[in-house]
Amino acid sequence: MTREQIRAAVLAALGDVAPEADLAALAPGAELRDALDLDSMDFLGFVQRLAAATGVEVPEEHYAQLATLEGCIGYLAARAA
């Protein structure tokens, strides 16, 4: 998957979990949990959608690496087929 496809997948997943959020205004380095007010249930939903879209099952220990939009893209680009 290209970086562009991964970026689209991440934003789509965020959109599902936080429908009201304004993703356009999301800074690449912003903390997702705070910026989008995601609780643990939302974040699990986000990770589950990423797995469905990219095939990458993120273990709980790696959650920290998905703290920001950029982090997510980098993490997934390295692993997605």
Q: Report the DSSP beta bridge partners of residue 21.
A: none
Using CB under 8 A as the binding rule, the residues of this chain from 37 to 76 that contact other proteins are 37, 39-42, 44-45, 47-48, 51-52, 57-60
* Binding track, positions 3-22, relative to other proteins; x by CB under 8 A: ---------------xxxx-
Tell me: does residue 23 bind other proteins (CB under 8 A): no
Q: Return the number of the residue (4 or 64) whose C-beta is nearest other proteins.
A: 64
Beta bridge partners of 68: 31
List residues near other proteins by CB under 8 A: 18-21, 37, 39-42, 44-45, 47-48, 51-52, 57-60
